[in-house]
Chains A and B, each alone.
Chain A
């Protein structure tokens, strides 16, 4: 019986491997066909030479970096404070961090646009809104990563030890707590990075330059360049996840993204 089971196991795994790799393979091969009759990286060259690509890619990089910064500045002190000083706020805070799971991105942007496209709150076209919205989108992952990091160190004792040695809150947060949860934060940051880089809905409907909407437009007009972009996009996601695995070994379970 055991050997028969093993045959089935291999069957499913091979099937899975095929299903996962064929689309990637197809995309990669397709991306090499820009020059007629020859396999070349022409489409990649075209992409890198396109000013619109540079603009949208760097824009996405900017959004992702700002999101991570805002997220860390907002969530680390909050998680620390909740754990240490206001444990009663814990349920409310955790509930809030889970709301983005329940509100799909399209519904969320619907609410955002409708709320913020009328004066006096006419900020619907400002980058402020986009970065804030991305921060909210990344919140379940970022906040949870920070929280897991805090859980693994004894926050109370460390703080009390620091206080007894004369440290103020700023010192405690940035020179003691932050360095000790570095790994967890990196974990969350890379996940947030991957999410924002690949995000389409918010950027599109809040009318800001970004990588994914650029790619969507390109699909309408070009054949091979979107393939190159898809390959790049996958490589980028893979790099982020790879770094997370390397950096975050042993720091809790993997966090999952979801469908978009």
Chain B
């Protein structure tokens, strides 16, 4: 096929960058918005094309591109996608599109710089998911700090300076440890940054443990896992709607993606060793995040804490070492990206109208904004993982995986799932139901076509995955099998058929 020979991934990354550059010569805000929309739409279509061309039966990296970058240090510009990354590339493109639509009216000042930051951000996020060279990955990963720092700091709320500094320094501090891990791995793995080569080698348990800790610090800050989560609520509350959507939709996924791409395949023994710790921290995040969400009056804070809680399911599922757990975790990542983006979008829409995020400010919106509250209801139900919505599939798989490997933690995680029903439903009740108490609410208008298009694009996936998840599972199945094979090379034959229990594996591997 001719199209396969094109450097599609480079094109995917370059498109938003070209868009950002082209904005330099565009003077008017309206033209800026349309041109940005044009570029993100083209990028979304390209991502959809990739999804369509992607061969789900193969675990191989596809659409590969390799160029020498820094020959002296064996650094390559190497791109490729497998089942995990293709999902997140699509998610990034979709979320990027939603961000532009959501910022159409919300951003009135310095529109050009804002749109340029969004586009650069999108290019870098896509780069993170495409990179197959650790150094390249790190460049994308770290460079994202700059546009995100600006998005929160320039267009954010009252307390944005504190929030953006905290975000920047936390993430930077996390990533430098990751960097040290990367360089140590480079020397241990025969002077190579090639992710595939590195994951084919085996390292001593001692080294793996240290590397795992270094990687863990980097990824756990991004996820964020308890106790590294404190930057998230601040950043979310102060960020503009698009910033929150990017944070919740894509940025948080990168930490978990890091675990999938590096910690599990490259450091399997250390992953087993630290699995109980990871499970404990995940469960703490699930329950603690849930309780914190319960106590919030600020809508964005509530969603932010619920994010911490829901991302706990992801990290829990990943470290169960069975296909259900990992499958669930990946699905949960994708779903959380969709659902939480949608929730922040809804909060953003209502905030644009009333300039209040306080739950107590609202009440009885159902009577005033029927379309808005209906959509909101769907997203709330999806977030609490109601059967029929996408989040249900993800959490179900995670819990199934957990009950196989570590039943106790499965039981605890269910508490978190129950908590999420409590805080989400009570929030919804206080906002949408009951009488309209606040006279300021009388004049507000329901969502318009532009806003609905953003909502609808997310709504599609909620039901699609909720009712017919097979195409999505099909994308990641082969990659998960390959991942499990990498984690447990000794017992590779039995993994494909049934789930494996970590204890028996530990004894196989002698520790």
A and B associate: no
A-to-B contact residues, CB < 8 Å:
none
